[in-house]
């Protein structure tokens, strides 16, 4: 127990911004930390606002019992996804593995503390959802102090089971992939399967596309969360504990969480060293035979280097290409099933037909493709290797052009496939398809250049785990979150404007706007590159 607490405390201290702020003399680092705090504050404000407004909506339509279910569902989903995406890099394959394993810690202690570290780090996010929803619930129900305390206490337990599930899945993926020669590839494929399954949860899609028929929507969402509660029992236990003060439900949630923790880490602990050994070591390749070497331009060479950087990291590839994969899957599904049927399924009775959503196709595709831009994190990912590009006769302009070229190589083909499939499924005319492709291409260019602006402005080279810049970096957050919300708004705007004006004209207007934005972002990248030189 003592060694568990010691290790957990050290892990938290070693990634604490407060500790860095206290001991660094670098003003830039201090400024970056302050900006990070501000960003976090904004994110918390958004989460709290969103959670409370959702509860107010539920309460206004008398769906009060569904609020605890919604709270448990959101926390469980977030806990599962956050943990699964971080398993590789935090739980396995982490940088200080050699140092920790050579110290007198039990293997189970190391694995358990790494898990607890993820739990403690993410707990404020889960609690912000929980307490906000409690506040929204309290507006209508006026719960007793005991119920409120119970809500908060059980919120500490709610993330544990999904986190354990995600850790176990991550462990199984790592275990399976180490049995193959292409460990990374197998890990990436299996990770994608889980991510796609997670994203396919119906209520998320519903939540993204609804904008009308509030009562019906809420009723439908309530049904969806009720279903979630039937499938995933801890959600039901949480609801019963809050609504009916069910002692047996409280005991079940607590008991199962603790029991699963022990069981999972018993299983993980047994193969932990074996898996990490396999993930961290690669056999020397067969004897290389010198063959014809091709010459490339500097920009192409950098783009290729970025490609190899991406394929060499499971964390990087799964985060960067998840949008491309989703867009392609969406395109294929629309092509097979038909745009009308997909829209009808997703909108589920809302007054939206396929024709209304037609002008929004490029933005729907871009919602997936532009979810993440490799350019937002690739400048930071140079990390300690930054000296290589610094010492070579490469202009900064060329360096960033190479990074942007790679992102275009990555996004454009998927955008084209998805747009073509959806347009065929939507029976769009040749002109509409062409304009959609042009708009899609320009959106990719904007995503690339804007991502690069974020990546350069918030470049951070002193990371110790690449997860810090890929998932948690300021550049990633600043690129991703506004981009996501703006695109969602644009989909709604396109649907609205589409009812008022000609679709072709509407697309042409957005082509011009996007072109201007992409050009301005590109010029900004060039200006920043010049400033760096």
Partner 1 sequence: MNETEMLKISHYSKTYGEGKKAADDVSLTVMSGDIYGFIGHNGAGKSTTIRAVVGVLDFTEGDIFIDGHSVKTEPMACKRVTAYIPDNPDLYENLTGIQYLNFIADVFDIDEQTRQERIKEYADLFEITQALGDLISSYSHGMKQKVAIISALIHNPKLLVLDEPFVGLDPKATFTLKELMRKMCSRGTAVFFSTHVLDVAEKLCNKVAIIKQGRIIDSGTMEEMTEGHSLEEVFLEVENEK
106 binds partner 1 (CB under 8 A): yes
Closest CB to partner 1 among 236 and 460? 460
Q: Which is nearer to partner 1, 106 or 212 (CB)?
A: 106
- Angle at alpha carbon of residue 195, lines to 321 and 68, rounded to 5°: 135
User: Is 97 near partner 1 (CB under 8 A)?
Assistant: yes
The three state secondary structure string of 60-72 is HCCCCCHHHHHHH
Q: Rule CB under 8 A: choose which of 38, 41, 60, 95 binds partner 1.
A: 95
Stretch that binds partner 1, among 6-14, 199-207, 320-328, 497-505 (CB under 8 A): 6-14
| 199 near partner 1 (CB under 8 A) | no
In the bound complex, what is the minimum distance in angstroms from residue 15's beta carbon to partner 1? 6
Q: How far is the CB of 273 from partner 1 (least distance, A)?
A: 5
Residues 6+ apart with CB under 8 A from 121: 12, 15
Q: Which is nearer to partner 1, 285 or 293 (CB)?
A: 285
Does residue number 391 form part of the binding site for partner 1 (CB under 8 A)?
no
Shortest reach from residue 105's CB to partner 1, in Å:
7
Tell me: does residue 267 bind partner 1 (CB under 8 A). Answer: no
Verify binding: residue 464, partner 1, rule CB under 8 A: yes
Angle, CA of 429, 372 and 505, to the nearest 5°:
30
Residues 6 or more apart whose Cβ sits within 8 Å of residue 143: 134, 137, 151, 242
Cβ 20 vs Cβ 33: under 8 Å: yes
Kindly determine how many residues on this chain lie close enough to bind partner 1 according to the rule CB under 8 A. Answer: 37
Nearer CB in complex with partner 1: 26/212: 26
Closest CB 384 distance from partner 1, rounded Å: 10
Q: Give which of 14, 46, 93 is closest to 467, Cα–Cα.
A: 93
State the minimum distance, in angstroms, from the CB of residue 96 to partner 1. Answer: 5
C-beta of 53 vs 385, nearer to partner 1: 385
Sign of the Cα torsion 189, 471, 121, 135 reads negative
Cα–Cα dist 323/373, whole Å? 10
Quick one: which of 53, 144, 274, 504 contacts partner 1 (CB under 8 A)? 274
Q: Which of residues 27-46 bind partner 1 (CB under 8 A)?
A: none
Quote the tokens at residue 447. Answer: 């995503």
- Where do the DSSP E strands lie in 44-91? none
Write down the least CB distance from residue 14 to partner 1, Å. Answer: 4
Contacts of 257-264 spanning 24+ positions with Cβ under 8 A: 257/157, 257/160, 257/161, 260/160, 260/161, 260/164, 261/112, 261/160, 261/164, 264/164, 264/167, 264/168
Determine, following the binding rule CB under 8 A, whether residue 462 of this chain makes contact with partner 1: yes
Question: How many helices (H) does the chain have, and how many strands (E)?
Answer: 25, 0
* 3-state DSSP helix/strand/coil % of the chain, to nearest 5: 80, 0, 20
CA distance 403 to 89: 24
Q: Are 452 and 403 in contact (CB under 8 A)?
A: yes
Piece of 17-25, 302-310, 411-419, 501-509 that binds partner 1 (CB under 8 A): 17-25
- Least separation in angstroms between residue 19's CB and partner 1 is 6
H or E segment to which residue 121 belongs: helix 107-141
Does 102 sit near partner 1 (CB under 8 A)? yes
277 binds partner 1 (CB under 8 A): yes
What span, in angstroms and rounded, lies between the C-alpha atoms of 143 and 60? 17
Q: Which of 107, 242, 343, 415 binds partner 1 (CB under 8 A)?
A: 107
Among 105, 192, 199, 515, binds partner 1 (CB under 8 A): 105
Site residues for partner 1, window 280-299 (CB under 8 A)? 281-284, 286
Q: Contact between 388 and partner 1 (CB under 8 A)?
A: no
Binding site for partner 1 (CB under 8 A): 3, 6, 10, 13-16, 19-20, 23-24, 26, 95-99, 101-107, 181, 273-274, 276-278, 281-284, 286, 462, 464
């Amino acid at each position: 127990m003592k060694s568990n607490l010691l290790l957990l405390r050290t892990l938290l201290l070693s990634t604490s911004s407060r500790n860095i702020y206290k001991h660094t003399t670098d003003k830039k680092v201090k400024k970056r930390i302050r900006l990070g705090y501000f960003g976090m504050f904004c994110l918390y404000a958004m989460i709290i606002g969103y959670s409370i407004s959702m509860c107010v909506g539920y309460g206004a339509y008398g769906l009060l019992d569904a609020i605890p279910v919604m709270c448990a569902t959101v926390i469980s989903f977030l806990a599962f996804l956050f943990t699964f995406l971080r398993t590789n890099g935090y739980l396995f394959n982490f940088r200080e593995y050699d140092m920790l394993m050579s110290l007198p810690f039990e293997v189970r202690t190391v694995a358990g503390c790494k898990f607890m570290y993820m739990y403690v780090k993410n707990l404020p996010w889960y609690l912000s959802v929980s307490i906000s929803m409690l506040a929204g619930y309290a507006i209508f129900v006026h719960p007793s102090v005991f119920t409120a305390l119970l809500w908060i206490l059980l919120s500490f337990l709610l993330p544990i089971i999904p986190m354990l599930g995600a850790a176990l899945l991550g462990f199984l993926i790592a275990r399976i992939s180490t049995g193959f020669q292409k460990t990374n590839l197998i890990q990436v494929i299996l990770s994608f399967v889980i991510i796609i399954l997670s994203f396919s949860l119906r209520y998320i899609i519903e939540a993204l596309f609804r904008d009308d028929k509030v009562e019906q929507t809420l009723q439908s969402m309530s049904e969806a969360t009720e279903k979630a509660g039937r499938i995933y029992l801890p959600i039901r236990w949480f609801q019963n504990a809050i609504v009916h003060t069910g002692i047996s439900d409280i005991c079940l949630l607590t008991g199962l969480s603790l029991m699963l923790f022990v069981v999972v880490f018993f299983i993980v602990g047994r193969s932990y060293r074996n898996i990490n050994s396999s993930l961290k070591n690669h056999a020397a390749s067969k004897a290389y035979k010198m063959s014809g070497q091709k010459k490339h331009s500097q920009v192409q060479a950098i783009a290729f280097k970025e490609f190899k950087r991406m394929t060499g990291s499971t964390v990087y590839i799964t985060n960067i290409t998840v949008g491309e994969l989703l867009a392609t899957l969406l395109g294929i599904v629309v092509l097979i099933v038909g745009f009308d049927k997909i829209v009808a399924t997703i909108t589920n009775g809302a007054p939206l037909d396929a024709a209304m959503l037609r002008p929004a196709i490029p933005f729907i595709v871009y919602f997936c493709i532009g979810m993440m831009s490799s350019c937002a994190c690739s400048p930071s990912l140079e990390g300690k290797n930054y000296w290589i590009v610094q010492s070579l006769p490469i202009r900064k302009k060329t360096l960033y052009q190479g990074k942007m070229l790679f992102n275009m190589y990555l996004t454009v083909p998927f955008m084209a496939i998805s747009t073509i499939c959806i347009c065929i499924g939507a029976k769009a005319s040749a002109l509409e398809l062409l304009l959609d492709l042009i708009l899609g291409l320009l959106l990719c260019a904007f995503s690339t250049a804007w991502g690069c602006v974020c990546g350069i402005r918030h470049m951070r080279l002193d990371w110790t785990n690449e997860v810090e810049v890929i998932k948690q970096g300021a550049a990633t957050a600043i690129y991703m979150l506004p981009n996501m919300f703006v695109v969602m708004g644009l989909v709604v705007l396109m649907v609205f404007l589409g009812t008022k004006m000609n679709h072709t004209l509407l697309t042409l207007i957005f082509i011009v706007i996007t072109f201007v934005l992409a050009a301005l972002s590109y010029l900004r990248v060039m200006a920043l590159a010049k400033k760096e030189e």
